[in-house]
A and B are shown apart, each in its own frame.
Chain A
Amino acid sequence: MDGGPDGITMVGEAKSTAAQGETLPLAAPERGVRPGLLAPSRLLALARRKPLGAAALALLVVLWALCLLAPVLAPYGYDQLFTAPRLTAPSSAHIFGTDESGRDVFSRLLFAGRLSLTLSLATTVFGVALAVLFGVVSGYAAGWFDLVFQRITDAFQALPILVILLVLAALYQGNRIVIVTAVALLFAPAAGRLFRSATLALRDQPFVEAARVTGASPLRIVLTHVMPNLYPLIIVFATAYVGANILLLAVLSFLGFINGDYPDWGSMLNLSAATYMVSAPWLVLAPGIAITLAVLAYNLLGDSLRDILDPRLRGS
């Protein structure tokens, strides 16, 4: 994974381009050849400096691996009925017990995690992409476009987002694609403000002006001069945003608004919670702990990434 042509390496390049311009997110420039940001030695040093972030990353890797490998790892199928008597307490055969249909809770948890993790990631990628698009265009174009866009953003920020999502989910019978799109669209304007203000700060920097003077087109300036400086912000924001999306999607499926036979962590709480939770608390504990751990890991990773990539944002 040594410094390929991916986003993180470009952050490093952007720094050298702009070092003569103004303060930039990364640490003070070092002299001489330095290893790529993703070189093992650097990663180790980072892990030592940010043990919590490293632990969070490890936890995420474990969670993702467990869930993606569910077909291999899970002792039973997610819909395999009566693997044991109904509602048995955790035992060696069923480490998280069984539910009201005698299904193995551990197996269901792993399969459900696939949906929760992938759906929240997809929502985040889509939402952040839209937010960056809105924010950068609005910030760089300025003028009337910016004004109109900001008023639209005001309106979006005043919407009770969960209620709107519930209405859409009900109208579209819990179609997951509609829900993912709606979450992304509803959050993108507000999130776009962040990227807008970052773009506004960049657009009058000497190195951007220089590019403009040499006759670079706005598209070229945005893509090669503005965007690379936004990557740290984008990465930090996206990481923290995944946690929020896991929670939001969990609420939707907990309330029964996401359709499908395939379980996710929220819907496991929905079915089990109502009737059996007092007599069989393991039904409530397992999915809830899974959601909390995943959100926690993303948030902690986001915090550490923010400290590493953008010290100015610390504490915000």
Chain B
Amino acid sequence: MRNYIVRRLLLMLPTLVAVAFLSFILLRLVPGDTLTAQIQSSGLSGAQYSPERLQSLKKQLGIDGSIPSQFGRWVNHLAHGDFQRSFLTNKDTLQQFRERMNVTIELGLLAVCFSVLIGIPIGAFSGVFQDTALDYVGRVLAILALAVPNFWLALLIIVFASRWFGYAFPRGSHPFFSEPLTNLQQFVAPALVIAAASAGLLMRLTRTAILDVLRQDYIRTARAKGLALRRIVLVHSLKNALIPVITVIGTQLAVVITGSVVVEQIFNLRGAGQLTLTSILQRDYPQVQTNVLIFAVVLVIGNLLTDLTYGVVDPRIRFA
């Protein structure tokens, strides 16, 4: 196990370098000098930059010189903890990301909790009561959750909360630890929206896993011994059925990040997702580059943890 972790950590390095390179090359894929033109039109004033200012901006973005030398310089700066400064605010981009990330972390944690709390029980019921009305309701819910666009769900919640209940979501920043109730009013709905698709996926996976397990011999033995259905499901089936399910939860990190970009904007939450969207819209490239890199690193770590949980939840899996 330890050897495996060490090897996986080592394998992470080339992936991280590749990820860094991909997020670096992204802004340089643009043909010709479009980027320069874009910088010209960037900034809140929209004023044209003088050639000297343009040169210094290029230098600030690290787009002077050849591509390999640019990449080398960028990585070197990163290694020294120097992320570039934002075009718009001239603040450190890492610092700006840090200021915004708490919202996204809370949203992500809530979303994962919701998807597990909704997806696994409904999926388990569906499987245990296969081909009953309950099962059909569960399956319809699951396929609907997977088909509904998350931004539309968010719009519906806002529209109908307002039309039917005259409800408007609280605005502004309400930290969880000082104003927990207002904070939850802000976060529960967007977290549910992000959780919907994952919950649908978990429902389906749990249902099939339960169906598989219920056909096993040891379940028949348990039944023959006259154990209560509840005990068979909770003690004997669910634990084994959840092995393939748990490992999927880690892959939902990508869904959370993608979801936060869209949903934070709609619900007006000032998180890292919204920061990313606005910096793309306002052509704040250093900020975009930093955010892409951080998201990518988070996803790499998420993938690693996912692989490791396989071994923790299923002792049959040996890491060679």
Contacts and interface: CB of A to CB of B under 8 A. Distances in A.
Interface of A: 151-152, 154-164, 166-168, 170-172, 243, 247, 250-251, 254-255, 266, 269, 273, 277-278, 281, 284, 287-288, 291-293, 295-296, 299-300, 314-315
Given A162-B258, A281-B163, A296-B144, A288 B292 contact: no
Interface string B199-222: 000000000110110000000000
Interface in B187-242: 208-209, 211-212
B81 to A, nearest CB: 21
Given A167-B27, A288-B149, A292-B149, A159 B19 contact: yes
A255 to B, nearest CB: 7
A85 B209 CA distance: 54
B277 A155 contact: no
B85 interface: no
Given A152-B18, A154-B18, A281-B159, A161 B258 contact: yes
A247 B163 contact: no
A299 B26 contact: no
Contacts of A171: 27, 29-30, 34-35, 38
A160 B34 contact: no
A288 B155 CA distance: 10
Interface stretch (B88-96, B177-185, B293-301, B311-319): B293-301
B contact patch SS: helix
A268 to B, nearest CB: 11
A281 B158 CA distance: 11
Nearest to B31: A172
Contact of B29 (A168, A292, A300): A168
B303 interface: yes
B69 interface: no
A254 B277 CA distance: 13
Interface of B: 11, 14-15, 18-19, 21-23, 26-27, 29-30, 34-35, 38, 143-144, 146-152, 155-156, 158-160, 162-163, 208-209, 211-212, 254, 257-258, 261-262, 265, 276-277, 280-281, 283, 288, 291-292, 295-297, 299-300, 303
B148 A158 contact: no
A167 B23 CA distance: 10
Contacts of A300: 143
Given A163-B261, A170-B281, A291 B152 contact: yes
B152 A164 contact: no
A151 B291 CA distance: 22
18 contacts: A154-B303, A155-B18, A155-B21, A157-B303, A158-B299, A159-B299, A160-B296, A162-B257, A163-B295, A167-B26, A254-B149, A278-B158, A278-B159, A281-B159, A284-B155, A284-B156, A299-B146, A314-B208
Contacts of B149: 247, 250-251, 254, 266, 288, 291-292, 295
Contacts of B257: 160, 162-163
A250 B153 CA distance: 13
Given A151-B15, A159-B23, A167 B261 contact: no
B20 to A, nearest CB: 9
B160 A158 contact: no
A160 B276 CA distance: 11
A163 B15 CA distance: 19
A269 B158 CA distance: 14
Contact of B261 (A158, A162, A247, A287): A162
A92 B147 CA distance: 29
Contact of A254 (B35, B151, B208, B209): B151
A100 to B, nearest CB: 15
A166 B277 contact: yes
A53 B129 CA distance: 22
Contact of A158 (B144, B159, B258, B303): B303
A152 B146 CA distance: 29
Contacts of B34: 171
Contacts of B29: 168, 171
Contacts of A247: 149
B47 to A, nearest CB: 20
A281 B162 CA distance: 11
Given A255-B277, A269-B155, A284-B156, 7 more contacts: A154-B18, A163-B280, A166-B276, A171-B30, A254-B149, A269-B151, A278-B162
A295 B148 CA distance: 8
Contacts of B295: 160, 163
Nearest to B266: A273
A83 to B, nearest CB: 24
B152 A167 contact: no
A295 B291 CA distance: 30
Contacts of A299: 143, 146-147
Contacts of B209: 315
B33 to A, nearest CB: 12
Nearest to A171: B30
Contact of B22 (A155, A251, A291, A314): A155
Contacts of A255: 151, 262, 265, 277
Contacts of B27: 167, 171
B22 A288 contact: no
A295 B146 CA distance: 8
Contacts of A159: 19, 22-23, 292, 296, 299
Nearest to B153: A288
A155 B159 contact: no
